[in-house]
Structure 1
Amino acid sequence: MDWFQVAFLAVLQGLTEFLPISSSAHLILPSQLFGWTDQGLAFDVGVHIGSLAAVMIYFRQDIGRMIVAWVGSLAGRGKSIDSRLAWYVIWATLPAVIAGFMFNSAIDHYGRSILIIAGTTLIFGALLWWADANRTEVRPLEKITLRDAVIIGLAQAVALIPGTSRSGITITAGLMLGLNRQSAARFSFLLSIPVILGAGLLKGLELAQTGTPDQLTMVLGGTVLAAISAYACIHLFLQWLDKIGMLPFVIYRLLLGFILLGIYFLA
């Protein structure tokens, strides 16, 4: 890769990891439109580390309280909102872990089609619009229940299908369960931490086994750019969410889905 490709793909990864618009749908476009080759495992690991660093830095105070409270709950010092939230993140992560082990090979083999990505981009974009338009917004994050967390976790497992959007479907599920926009988004972002960490570790192990050589400076540059763009994305998304809602992202997803259909049928 050259530095333009590094910058483009790193910023794209950082933005689409957390916006409800599907990272897989976007990461397939550069190769289709510009004929770029695969960016390589080392770069994938780098941008995952960058995205993980961004969300952990942004929510560092929440994460610190949750860890302390979770350890306290293990020691029998009672339950608090933070300890319950930590346990809910753990429980909500399990469906994606189980589904990943069971279906990862099948998804890698059958799920990378542009047609599938276009379909899931359109379908789950429309579902996001429906959930936002019919939201009740009666509960803050402090009122989330174990049932809510498990349902959101099951929704996250569906996001293993490319084009679904992990953040999009978990926010959709949160809105349908009666969480307000901010609560649905914040839980989705907290839930991303173990998922991104797991994906980064898997890619890191694969990289260690293959020993693929890459330019370290470009990988590090991609990591930093992904972290900066992801941090800015999280901050601005939460700042603007109540003002703009989900409709701009839904419109964007519909346009993207139809562009992908055009590429599939006309290319």
Structure 2
Amino acid sequence: MSLFHLILLALIQGLTEFLPISSSGHLILLPQAMGSEDQGQLLDVAVHVGTLGAVVLYFWNDVKRAASGVPAMLIGRLDAPGARLAFHLAVATVPVMIFGVFLAATGLNDALRSMAVIGWTMLGFGVLLWWMDQRGSESKTDQDWTLKDAIKLGLWQAIALIPGTSRSGITITGARALGYGREASARLAMLMSIPAILASGGYLLLDTGSEWTPDRIRDCAIAAALAFVAALLALKLMMKLLQSVSFTPYVIYRVLLGSLLLYIAYT
């Protein structure tokens, strides 16, 4: 793959993974827009590894707290420091894993990768994000995260396996519906992305054994590094903007892009 294509792929993944505008939808549209072949699962895994590194670094204190609580969680001591956070993250990841296996087993994974589907989800879930953001209260912080809310947000997150939905966008939508503030909603969505990316990346790796060639490994390393930088910048920008700006700019982008995709798909 050319260096230009790798840079474009990494930038799109890095900038869209944590913004509520759907990275998967953009990655599916990229080869269609460029008239090239799909980049393949191995490169998808590589750019996801890059974005995973960015969110772990940005939320390092929370990640360290959750990781330190895993041993206590495994023996049922949820009152230990970090154990409750680790448990809630694990619970919230279960729905997306179950739904992911279902989509893969039924073949719906490939059937949903169409411009029309991405257009509808981009538009529909964008409007839903705006609605929940406007009407949702800001009474809860991420410290108020309960097991019940973790289950609900896990179900919201599972919907993101439909291309164009946006994992961060739909999780933020669910959190705003539950009464979490904008920054708290984004923080929970980002933390939930860590086990979700690990799970999806691990699953994709099972199907990429034949793709491990020296050239592909080089391409993956370049793409992962660039995606890491782009994702870190996008994270910092979004978390800073949320102190004074709502999610409306992202919604406007989603509505415009979704409308354009639907026009192209049906004409």
Common fold, TM-score beyond 0.5? yes
Query: How many Å separate the matches in 1 of 2:29 and 2:100?
Result: 24
Identity, % of aligned positions: 43
Q: Deviation string for 1:135-163 (max 9, x for gaps)?
A: 21001111111111111100011111111
SS in 2 for 1:242: coil
Distance 1:8 1:138 in 2: 40
Structure 1 contact 55–193 (Cα < 8 Å) conserved: yes
1:239 has 2:244 as partner = no
Say if 1:125 and 1:254, in contact at 8 Å, map to a contact too.
yes
Query: Number of aligned pairs?
Result: 265
Secondary structure (helix, strand or coil) at the match of 2:82 reads helix
5+ residue gaps, structure 2, are: none
> Who is 2:266 aligned against?
265
Check if 1:17 corresponds to 2:22.
no
Alignment of 1:76-225 (within 5 A): 79-80=79-80, 82-104=82-104, 105-208=106-209, 210-211=210-211, 213=213, 214-225=215-226
- Structure 1 distance, partners of 2:155, 2:75, is 29
CA distance in 2, matches of 1:107, 1:17: 22
Distance apart, 1:85 and its partner CA = 1.6
The 2-side partners of 1:24 and 1:78 are apart by 34
In structure 1, distance between residues paired with 2:53 and 2:92: 21
1: CA distance, partners of 2:110 / 2:39: 19
TM-score of the two chains, using structure 2 as the length reference: 0.93
Is the contact between residue 20 and residue 170 of structure 2 (CA under 8 Å) also seen in structure 1? Answer: yes
Q: What's 1:37 paired with?
A: 37
Taking the aligned partners of 1:33 and 1:75, their CA distance within structure 2 comes to 50
| Root mean square deviation of aligned Cα | 1.7
- Which blocks of at least 5 consecutive residues in structure 1 are unaligned? none
Counterpart amino acid of residue 46 in structure 1: A
Q: Tell me by how many angstroms 1:10 deviates.
A: 0.5
Q: Confirm or deny that 1:26 pairs with 2:26.
A: yes
Could you tell me which residue of structure 1 aligns to residue 50 of structure 2? 50
* 3-state DSSP of counterpart to 1:249: helix
2 CA distance for matches of 1:24 and 1:129?
A: 20
Superposed counterparts of 1:53-68, under 5 Å: 53-68=53-68
**AA of the residue aligned to 1:3:** L
Deviation at 1:74, TM superposition (A): 4.1
Aligned-residue offset at 1:35 = 0.5
- Amino acid across the alignment from 1:96: V
User: Could you state the TM-score of these two structures normalised by the residue count of structure 1?
Assistant: 0.93
Q: Which amino acid aligns with 1:205?
A: L
CA contact (8 A) 1:114 1:261 kept: yes
SS of the residue 1:243 aligns to: coil
Q: Is contact 1:81–1:142 with CA below 8 Å preserved after alignment?
A: no
Deviations 1:67-114 (A, max 9, x none): 213323445666156321211111111111111112234322321121
Residue 205 of structure 2 corresponds to residue 226 of structure 1: no
Distance 2:160 2:131 in 1: 18
2:31–2:39 CA contact under 8 A, matched in 1: no
Q: Residues 122, 222 of structure 1: CA spacing in aligned structure 2 closer, same or farther, 3 A cutoff?
A: same
Contact 2:73 2:86 in 1 (8 A): no
Asked if 2 retains the 8 angstrom alpha-carbon contact of 1:42 and 1:219, the reply is: yes
**Alignment partners' CA distance in 2, 1:212 and 1:229:** 25
Q: Structure 2 vs 1, CA of residues 35 and 62 (structure 1 numbering), >3 Å: closer, same or farther?
A: same
1:190-213 deviations in whole A, cap 9, x for unaligned? 1011111112112222111x3354
Do 1:41 and 1:212's aligned partners in 2 also have CA atoms closer than 8 Å?
Answer: no
